[in-house]
Amino acid sequence: MLTIAFLILTSLAQGLDYPVAGAHGAVASSSTLASQVGIDIMKQGGNAIDAAVAVGFALAVTHPTAGNIGGGGFAVIRTSKGTIITLDFRETAPAKSHRDMYIDESGQVIEDLSTKGHLSTGVPGTVDGLLVLLEKHGSLSREQVLQPAIMLAEKGFPLSRVLVSEFKNLHGSMSSYPQSMKIFSNSGKPYEAGDVWIQRDLAATLKRIAANGRDGFYTGETADLIVAEMERGGGIVSREDLTNYKSMWREPVKGSYRGYEIWSMSPPSSGGVLLVNMLNMLEPFDVSGMGWGSSALIHMMIEAERRAYADRAQYLGDPEFSDIPVAELTSKAYAAQRFSDFDAQKASKSAEIGHGSLPAESTETTHFSVADKAGNAVAITTTLNWGYGNRIVVTGAGFLLNNEMDDFSAKANTPNTYGLIGRKANEIQPGKRMLSSMTPTIVTKDGKPVLVTGSPGGSTIITTVLQVVMNTIDFGYNVSHSVSVPRFHHQWLPDRVVFETRCISADGLKALEARGHKELQISTWRIGAANSVSYRDGLIEAASDPRRDAQGVAY
């Protein structure tokens, strides 16, 4: 059961340099309530995997913008025996989907069709993924692990100012969906901060999952409700799509950086490949000597990002449908060749940077990190794609649908919502998993866990994780400082660099302009939310990103 202690924790601001720490376990997520669920599960004797599954289901209740059972994601896990495993529970394209489903008769992409409405929905994978993790590596029963989420949905919890503000902003886009308005408004009127939010339909869905496992979602009543919702709005997810969905164990992407081991997610996530590729490009240089936030370092990182994202567009997709050159893209030899034309004094132009030559051969997501004293560590990133997905609540089931079909390449070289370019490797095919930027990552040193991290943020996920890893390894920052300091982002196309405020000085901007960087933007929008956990000085430290309304929890 939830302890009263979380009420005190929610009123405490997590300091920049003082992460929450404990000897037994730690959780960092975008919801303090959900993080406390994970701690309570560990206090009941569960391990970090039990806790992570409980947090995942609790986020579906307390963090509706991205915490989900109607979406999908990826998990990177270190077991207490030191084994690293990864699970892909990404959404899949329905059987009735096809390559040109979002293209009109003139060959142009139909605006909003892949992001709004029922046709934007992929087959959800989160429920299967979380249950597979629990069955394979957990120690508690399904009923124990889901009970906190059921209680939060059935009994309700007081709404924060942040959630109330988000709900109000949604009303315009939800106005055509009565069931969505029923859930996210108070009888048609905006909720107020402090109102208790009860989600009875969602509680009933969670109870079916607790009682029947995956059959409580992918068959039976819940599946019937999903299919009825599809038929109501012209969607194409069928009973067969739901019945046939399966998570997939993948080989992790492994790299090394300055004596640390980097473990991340393989395709259909592009995150691990790009993370290791960029670290390989940067490793030969004296990053710490350049200084955090220096124009020299930012210039070099931009150039690494430019090349990595160009390769993403060309080579990455679902490995079940295309040969993905993971080994080549993550090799240090390839990185050296790819970065051989780097000029420390001059910016390259994205229009002139194509993909590399290989040898023959949203904005809204959520991430949570969990670790325990036995060395079990879990990095999980899940998503609905946009914040609140396509804004459609399944009538009678109480959860939001994803609009992940937009993560496919609807047309070659045509950007998606996040400005990302895709080609043949990521074209739509039935049963295919769409390419992702999710980058759940575990860093170890001599096989022992050091950092558990990841982030939401669409195309900015990968660069966010890159900066957290570099802050930890190159600059020796603790986990709270590593995730709190300002960030920047570049992704090849569009040829633009976006900085959070206080990320770079006015002189630094002038120095980048002098190198030839043209479009430099200081933005007030936040980049990522890198909820992270670290092992340091015999303790486990948790830092929920201050860009979101949550604190890490440990005991």
- Catalytic position from the list 32, 86, 365, 453: 365
In the residue annotation, 365 being an active-site residue is answered as: yes
DSSP sequence for 2-27: --THHHHHTTSPPBTTB-EEESSEEE
Residue 122, amino acid: G
> Rounded distance, CA 550 to CA 555, Å?
17
Instruction: Let me know: does 214 contact 125? Beta carbons within 8 Å.
Output: no
- 192 burial via Cβ count (<10 Å: 0-12, 13-18, 19+): exposed
Nearest to 533 by CA among 73, 52, 130: 52
Q: How far apart are CA 316 and CA 339, in angstroms?
A: 19
Beta bridge partners of 521: 498
Residue 331 CB neighbour total at 10 angstroms: 18
Determine the distance from the C-alpha atom of residue 171 to the mean position of all C-alpha atoms in its chain, rounded to a whole number: 25
- Is 446 exposed, middle or buried (CB count within 10 Å of its CB: 0-12, 13-18, 19+)? exposed
Cα angle at 97 between 266 and 253, to 5 degrees? 0
389: Cβ contacts below 8 Å, ≥ 6 apart: 68, 70, 71, 400, 401, 402, 403
Q: Which residue has the tokens 């991205």?
A: 66
Catalytic residues: 365
